[in-house]
């Protein structure tokens, strides 16, 4: 299609970051007890469809919205943590569009008078720490949920559940300050941590986060990528999109302004042929609600310790490395778990949580909140007392996590050690095993006594195999040497 | 012992009711056993609420509007739902999907609208009082045409919770009755703060009307007697004003220059809000069902084409246009400024006078089917819309006749001085009676 | 002034079907009304007035929802507790 394109051919392959401009629109569900405009409970996830619904959130004729004070307070906490300005007056507006998940055919959101504007958030950028600008923070209602029926390629109709309709969302819009998909992911992680530390958001609830991204690369127009619903998805979607745009330009074509959808299962973005460009939302102030003047509330908010402050404290209080401190404070649950198990007498605990535990949890897609901290502490104590080896501790941990994963409970670490015979083998066991190995390997023993050192390595290997790595290698070495020397005499 | 009921089976020769409740239950209270008719855009639990539209045919709300709740608790019997222009969009009740209501004073003429069914039910004596709603004159216009009393309260004085929205920022539910005393009694019951309506105020109406205009100043804006007002109506209204003068009021002429913009501003605002309010009628959650095997956009368009009458479609499209990208500043934003100008005019005039009076409607009720041009119809609202734009209380009280058809005297007051407006209407009513 | 194509576009935005036979009359009525609205062009923009009522909130308390039967009472198109709606894909 680009016969008359005047775009220069870009031949050099650039690294993913170069010339990339990304801005994010992040929607998070705020964890208030009741919905944004009615008293229906927000705890809908395990319940049947249309059971958390009233005249207001069903959009029945004549019902009127009422603003939940806590939603505004939560959003102001976020605004303050992001160093935003709170304008003297803000208001709700209607965004008018039709879609079967939208109960009133408009969404109550905020438009030209948002709750907060112009903030910043510090992240670990591609070239060290950087400040990302926050354009605005506002609140709005979640629409309902659609289920497509009649097959995946051509559903015949939709099913609608309005339980989610009216759940409060906070929308955070960034300036186009992010320069790579990786920075976008880090930004998202930092936002998540900040919101969790503020006690306004629970990232573990399914569907509690949705991200739209604006992406452009040098020489191309801005493309909006919608429908990113996971943390991992952000980097994947953006990497795909940046690569796609580079390909388009490399082929001498034009990146045109459009809206694309991220298809998580396939890791690709696809052009949505819907007439997004034609959308005309006809915003106007919500006439059923009054304006808000909440700047003084914001002034009165005392923020809790946020991720950056906690990171610094972990370094000084627990002697964590800066890297571990960053990992341990990157998620509220991890940070709190660490504080429960940390022991100044056992400095290795930080490594164990930050590297081993998180790795094992991620592998099983489990949350740290399912791990009893007392058990983890017990395991760390056994380790520091020398009752188990590092190797055994990992095995115990894996076994415990498998049990938790399967049934939500597990035995105690010491019970596990006993059951699997993973206790550090004592000197006696070492001696017995050494004697056994000597009896079973006459030739190697003879070789050893004739001065062949490789023979000792072979024998120690046999000993280790018999003890399955549970015994302290130094003790085994000692015991074998002793037994061989006794025979040689 | 069972709940007492009021038997209600009137001969509805004027098509005033869309639904009647033959044996309406009631409880003890100040209105014990008295029948009240409720406009069909006010939600009644378990009683069909259609707003005069096919798109809500068969819809029975699972909840009561706040005012209905208050009426029931005051002992009133809800005897039926009254006919109206579809969603309140009209000034004659001819826009009802269920046929027009006839004017009991002359069944060949319109009863006014949009609360024409309520006005006719009261005027014909089927009930003592009724609830209407007034977005740009929808209580006062039919009150004037049918010869009864109707009040549009101060905005925020009566909860809108359960009133099917047409234009949220303009409309109020209000009482309609044959006498000012009955109207006042109904107002006592329905007014007051409701936490479910964020635009209500803690200003309950607890008043008994008494004749008192002695010493008050009544402003007469010259624009209320301008071009377009039937001179015979003007003359009847002037006579009524002189009755107030005889009762001790001082009459002062004044001017409301913002009247130039008021009607255009009103129609921009009400159609804009309506375009959004009426978007939810898609046949998914209530009303005659939408065809689910079509793509949603096609299905909705068809459902809404069939479900809405021409005037509703016209206003929804006008409002959609007024809010659309590129036109918002030209229409909606300017209309808001005009609205502020109207409020400013009222404030300025109310610095010098206590009440404003003039005709309610530029003419008396005209024959059914006579006015077909939409703009010509809109122009009949010119005298009633200023009160809605400014949110001030306004009453229409019968003040005479032209060729046998009633004329209404409109009296407006300062915000939250509904009591004063009612007292003035009471003074006129008593002054004429003696 | 708007033409018939623009009126069709508005009908599309408002999701209200309009038939070819209605277009001409709708358009002419539309234009008569828009012509009347022109009076607003004479108004200069102005600052918004201070609101008399603001900060109206409710507390974060859970109140009972409707029973599912009541939620679905007004539609015949339901399936396993869901509303049935037209397809979107
Ligand atoms: Zn609800």
pLDDT 10s digit of each residue in chain B, 434 long? 578 999 999 999 999 999 999 999 999 999 999 999 999 999 999 999 999 999 999 999 999 999 999 999 999 999 999 999 999 999 999 999 999 999 999 999 999 999 999 999 999 999 999 999 999 999 999 999 999 999 999 999 999 999 999 999 999 999 999 999 999 999 999 999 999 999 999 999 999 999 989 999 999 999 999 989 999 999 999 999 999 999 999 999 999 999 999 999 999 999 999 999 999 999 999 999 999 888 899 999 999 999 999 999 999 999 999 999 999 999 999 999 999 999 999 999 999 999 999 999 999 999 999 999 999 999 999 999 999 999 999 999 999 999 999 999 999 999 999 999 999 999 999 988 76
| Contact of B118 with B131, CB cutoff 8 Å | yes
Q: How many CB atoms lie within 10 A of CB A47?
A: 15
Enumerate the residues of chain C whose CB falls inside 8 A of the CB of residue B340.
46, 48-49
Give the chain A residue whose CA is nearest to the CA of C80. A49
Ligand 1 center–CA B254 separation, angstroms = 49
ipTM exceeds 0.95 = yes
d(CA C21, CA C24): 7
Residue A173 DSSP label: E
Domain boundaries for CATH 1.10.10.410 within chain A: 427-488
Catalytic residues of B: 39, 114, 138
How far is Cα A441 from Cα A12, in angstroms, rounded to an integer?
A: 64
Q: Does residue B329 sit in helix, strand or coil?
A: helix
Question: In angstroms, how far is the first alpha carbon of chain A from the final one?
Answer: 90
What's the burial of B253, exposed, middle or buried (CB within 10 Å: 0-12/13-18/19+)?
Answer: exposed
What confidence tens digit (pLDDT) does each residue in C4-63 have? Answer: 999 999 999 999 999 999 999 999 999 999 999 999 999 998 888 889 899 999 999 999
Interface test with A, best of C48, C83, C84 (most A CBs within 10 A): C83
Interface of A with C in 146-175 (CB under 8 A): 146-150, 154-162
Contact C66 A159 (CB under 8 A): no
Per DSSP, the residues of A53-119 read --TTTTT-TT-----BHHHHHHHHHHHHHTT-B--S-B--EEEE---TT-TTSEEEE--SS-SEEEE
CB contact under 8 A, A290 and C65: no
3-class state of residue A465 by DSSP: helix
Q: Which residue on chain B is closest to A281 by alpha carbon?
A: B324
A451 Rama class: left (phi>0) / alpha (psi -120 to 50) / beta: left
CA-to-CA distance for B75 and B72, rounded, in angstroms? 5
Contact A160 C85 (CB under 8 A): yes
Task: Find all residues with CB under 8 Å of A147, minimum gap 6, and list them.
Answer: A158, A159, A160, A161, C82
Element (H, E) at B271: helix B259-277
CA–CA separation, C81 and C65 (whole Å): 15
Are A395 and A389 in contact by the 8 Å Cβ rule? The answer is: no
Q: Per residue of chain A (489 residues), what is the pLDDT tens digit? A: 333 444 444 444 445 546 899 999 999 999 999 999 999 999 999 999 999 999 999 999 999 999 999 999 999 999 999 999 999 999 999 999 999 999 999 999 999 999 999 999 999 999 999 999 999 999 999 999 999 887 666 658 999 999 999 999 999 999 999 999 999 999 999 999 999 999 999 988 988 999 999 999 988 899 999 989 988 899 999 999 999 999 999 999 999 888 999 998 899 999 876 554 568 999 999 999 999 999 999 999 999 999 999 999 999 999 899 999 999 999 999 999 999 998 776 778 999 999 999 999 999 999 999 999 999 998 888 888 878 888 888 888 999 999 999 998 999 888 888 777 776 656 667 778 888 888 888 888 888 888 888 888 888 888 888 777 666 677 778 778 888 887 765
Are B338 and C43 inside 8 Å of each other by CB? yes
pTM for the structure as a whole: 0.91
| Correct CATH for A427-488 of 1.10.10.410, 1.10.1060.10, 3.40.50.720, 2.40.128.20 | 1.10.10.410
Q: Mutation test of the interface with chain B: which of A67, A166, A287, choosing the one with the most B Cβ atoms within 10 A?
A: A287
Angstrom distance (rounded) from CA A32 to CA A114:
20
Q: Which CATH class is domain B5-250+356-433?
A: alpha beta
Beta-carbon neighbour count of residue B248 at 10 Å?
13
């Amino acid at each position: 299609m680009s016969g008359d394109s005047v775009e220069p051919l870009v031949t050099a392959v650039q690294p993913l970051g170069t010339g990339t401009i990304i801005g994010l629109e992040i929607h998070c569900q705020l964890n208030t007890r009741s919905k944004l405009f009615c008293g229906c409970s927000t705890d809908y996830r395990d319940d049947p469809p249309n059971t958390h619904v009233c005249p207001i959130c069903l959009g029945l004729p004549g019902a009127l919205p009422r603003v939940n004070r806590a939603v505004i307070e939560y959003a102001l906490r976020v605004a303050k943590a992001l160093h935003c300005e709170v304008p003297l007056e803000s208001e709700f507006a209607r965004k008018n569009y039709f879609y079967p998940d939208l109960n009133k055919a408009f969404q109550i959101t905020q438009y030209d008078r948002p709750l907060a504007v112009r903030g910043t958030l510090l992240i670990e950028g591609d070239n060290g720490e950087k400040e990302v600008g926050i354009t605005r923070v506002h609140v709005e209602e979640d629409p309902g949920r659609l289920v497509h029926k009649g097959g995946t390629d051509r559903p015949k109709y939709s099913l609608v559940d309005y339980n989610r309709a009216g759940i409060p969302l906070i929308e955070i819009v960034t300036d186009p300050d992010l320069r790579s998909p990786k920075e976008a992911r880090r930004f998202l992680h930092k936002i998540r941590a900040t919101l969790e530390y503020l006690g306004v958001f629970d990232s573990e609830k399914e569907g509690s986060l949705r991200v739209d991204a604006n992406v452009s690369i040098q020489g191309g127009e801005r493309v909006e990528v919608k429908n990113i619903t996971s943390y991992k998805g952000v980097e994947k979607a953006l990497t795909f999109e940046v690569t796609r745009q580079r390909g388009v330009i490399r082929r001498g074509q034009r990146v045109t302004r459009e809206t694309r959808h991220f298809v998580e299962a396939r890791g690709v973005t696809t052009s949505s042929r819907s007439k997004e460009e034609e959308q005309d939302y006809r915003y106007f102030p919500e006439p059923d609600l009054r304006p808000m003047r909440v700047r003084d509330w914001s002034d009165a908010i005392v923020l809790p310790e946020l991720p950056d402050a906690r990171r610094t404290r972990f370094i000084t209080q627990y002697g964590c490395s800066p890297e571990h401190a960053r990992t341990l404070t990157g998620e509220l649950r991890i940070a709190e778990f660490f504080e429960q198990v940390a022991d100044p007498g056992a400095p290795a605990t930080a490594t164990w949580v930050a590297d081993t535990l998180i790795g094992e949890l991620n592998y099983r897609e489990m949350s740290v909140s399912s791990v009893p901290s007392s058990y983890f502490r017990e395991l760390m104590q056994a380790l520091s007392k020398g009752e188990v080896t590092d190797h055994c501790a990992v095995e115990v941990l894996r076994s415990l996590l498998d049990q938790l994963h399967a049934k939500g409970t597990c035995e105690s670490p010491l019970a596990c050690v006993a059951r699997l015979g993973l206790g550090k083998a004592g000197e006696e066991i070492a001696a017995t095993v050494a004697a056994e190995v000597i009896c079973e390997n006459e030739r190697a023993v003879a070789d050893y006594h004739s001065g062949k050192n490789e023979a000792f390595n072979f024998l120690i290997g046999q000993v280790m195999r018999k003890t399955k790595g549970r015994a302290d290698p130094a003790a085994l070495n000692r015991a074998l040497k002793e037994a061989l020397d006794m025979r040689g005499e | 012992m069972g709940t007492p009921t009021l038997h209600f089976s009137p001969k509805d020769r004027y098509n005033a009711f869309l639904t009647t409740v033959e044996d309406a239950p009631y409880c003890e209270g100040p209105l014990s056993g008295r029948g009240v008719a409720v406009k069909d855009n006010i939600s009644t639990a378990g009683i069909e609420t259609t707003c005069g539209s096919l798109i809500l045919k068969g819809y029975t709300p699972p909840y009561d509007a706040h005012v209905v709740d208050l009426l029931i608790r005051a002992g009133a019997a809800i005897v039926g739902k009254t006919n109206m222009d579809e969603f309140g969009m009209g000034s004659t009740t001819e826009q009802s999907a269920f046929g027009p209501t006839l004017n009991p004073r002359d069944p060949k003429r319109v009863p006014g609208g949009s609360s024409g069914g309520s006005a006719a039910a009261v005027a014909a004596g089927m009930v003592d009082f009724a609830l209407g709603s007034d977005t740009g004159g929808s209580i006062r216009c039919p009150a004037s045409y049918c010869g009864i009393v109707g009040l549009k309260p101060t905005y925020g004085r009566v909860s809108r919770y359960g009133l099917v929205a047409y234009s949220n920022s303009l409309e109020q539910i209000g009482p309609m009755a044959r006498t000012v005393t009955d109207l006042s009694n109904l107002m006592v019951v329905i007014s007051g703060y409701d936490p479910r309506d964020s635009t209500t105020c803690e200003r309950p109406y607890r008043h008994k009307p008494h004749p008192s205009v002695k010493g008050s100043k009544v402003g007469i804006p010259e624009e209320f007697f301008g071009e377009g007002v039937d001179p015979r109506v003007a003359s009847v209204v002037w006579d009524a004003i002189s009755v107030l003068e005889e009762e001790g009021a001082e009459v002062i002429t004044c001017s409301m220059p913002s009247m130039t913009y008021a009607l255009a501003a009103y129609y921009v605002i009400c159609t804009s809000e309506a375009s959004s309010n009426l978007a939810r009628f898609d046949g998914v959650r209530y009303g005659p069902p939408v065809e689910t095997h079509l793509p949603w956009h096609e299905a909705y368009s068809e459902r809404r084409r069939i479900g809405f009458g021409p005037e509703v479609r016209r206003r929804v499209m006008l409002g959609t246009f007024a809010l659309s990208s590129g036109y918002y500043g030209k229409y909606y934003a300017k209309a808001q400024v005009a609205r502020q100008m109207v409020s400013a005019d009222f404030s300025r005039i109310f610095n010098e006078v206590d009440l404003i009076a003039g005709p309610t409607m530029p003419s008396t009720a005209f024959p059914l089917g006579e006015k077909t041009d939409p703009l010509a119809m809109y122009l009949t609202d010119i005298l009633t819309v200023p009160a809605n734009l400014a949110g001030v209380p306004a009453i229409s009280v019968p003040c005479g006749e032209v060729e046998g058809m009633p004329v209404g005297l409109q009296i407006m007051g300062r915000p939250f001085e509904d009591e004063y407006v009612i007292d003035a209407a009471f003074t006129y009513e008593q002054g004429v009676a003696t | 002034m708007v033409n018939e194509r623009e009126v069709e576009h508005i009908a599309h935005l408002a999701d209200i079907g309009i038939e070819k036979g209605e277009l001409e009359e709708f358009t002419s009525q539309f234009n008569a009304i828009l012509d009347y609205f022109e009076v607003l062009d004479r108004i200069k923009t102005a600052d918004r007035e201070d609101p008399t009522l603001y900060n109206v909130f409710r507390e974060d308390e859970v109140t009972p929802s409707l029973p599912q039967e009541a939620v679905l009472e007004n539609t015949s198109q339901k399936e396993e507790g869901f509303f049935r709606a037209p397809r979107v894909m």
